[in-house]
Structures are given as structure tokens and as C-alpha cells.
Amino acid sequence: MLKLVLGDLTKEAANVEAIVNAANPTLLGGGGVDGAIHRAAGPELKAECQKLHGCAVGEAKLTKAYALPCNYVIHTVGPRFQGGHKREAELLAACYTNTLILAQQTGIKRLAFPSIATGVYRFPVELAAKIAVTTVKNYLAQEPTAFEMIEWVLFDEDTYRAYEKALK
């Protein structure tokens, strides 16, 4: 049920019903995975995101996937890491929980995450991986039939190894 993939989230989207965008608060695209998702989805994604009026840190919002080979994109805004004393761990866990709740409410059974907040938001990868895996496992313990498959599609070897370690 839980799986790791080394690769490009936009290309792995064909294997799932929804991908998760590690978005910025405007939801209008940016760098990293956010920019890649917006480029792959096409301009319709930005147009729909403009109607959502942004997203708070830790929250999640749903859009269509447009030119991506999945049905939906769930946008969530991770916290900027500021030393770990400003509720960053709690807010990152909320990203995963709120995404899973929204996916379940939408009927999504197969979902792919990136490593949220570990790029320009500088969340330490090993800590982020532990929070991500623990939060998802805890959710699945409460909702064991909610999902068929949840995967993390990770862009580089170091991030992959951190998630692999967290899953063990």
C-alpha cells in the first residue's frame, strides 16, 4: 500500500488518481515540483487556482489535473523551516492529514505525494520523511480501507533514502 518511487511526479501521475502539489500560498505556481506540475497541467490549472484565493500553510485544496494523466491535483502548503520552534512539524503533519482527508472525501484511492517543504522551504529531509511516513501510517491505522495505494515520488537519491529509512 505504501510505496516509494524515484522519479518525476508529473510523469508518475498516470499511476494514480491524484498527485499532491507542494504549493506556495498563492497556488499560482513557482519553482520545484510546484512549477513542474503547473507546466505539465497547462494554463487551465493556474486559472482554476486563481479562483481558490490561495491556501494557508497546512491546509489542502483540490483542482482538476487538466493535461496531467491523473484526475486531480491536491495542493498543500508546507511550512518554511525556521529552526523547528514555530510549529513546523505540526504544520507539516497537517499538510499530510488534510490532504488525506480531502482525497478520501473525493473518493480518491490512489495518491502520490512529493517530499513536501524540503526544497526552497528548507525542511530537513530526514525529519520531513519521518513526519510524512508517521502521519500517513497513523491515518491509515484509523482508516484502513480509505486508500489502495499511497506513494511518494521523490526527485533525488538522498530524499529517496531518507524516506526509505523512515518507512523501515
Active-site positions read 34
Chain centroid to CA 22: how far?
A: 5
Q: Whole-angstrom Cα distance, residue 157 to residue 63?
A: 30
Q: Whole-angstrom Cα distance, residue 15 to residue 111?
A: 9
- The residues near 110 (Cβ < 8 Å, ≥ 6 apart) are 15, 16, 17, 18, 147, 148, 149, 150
Go through the chain and tell me how many residues it has. Answer: 168
- State the helix-helix crossing angle for 32-41 and 43-50, rounded to 10 degrees: 110
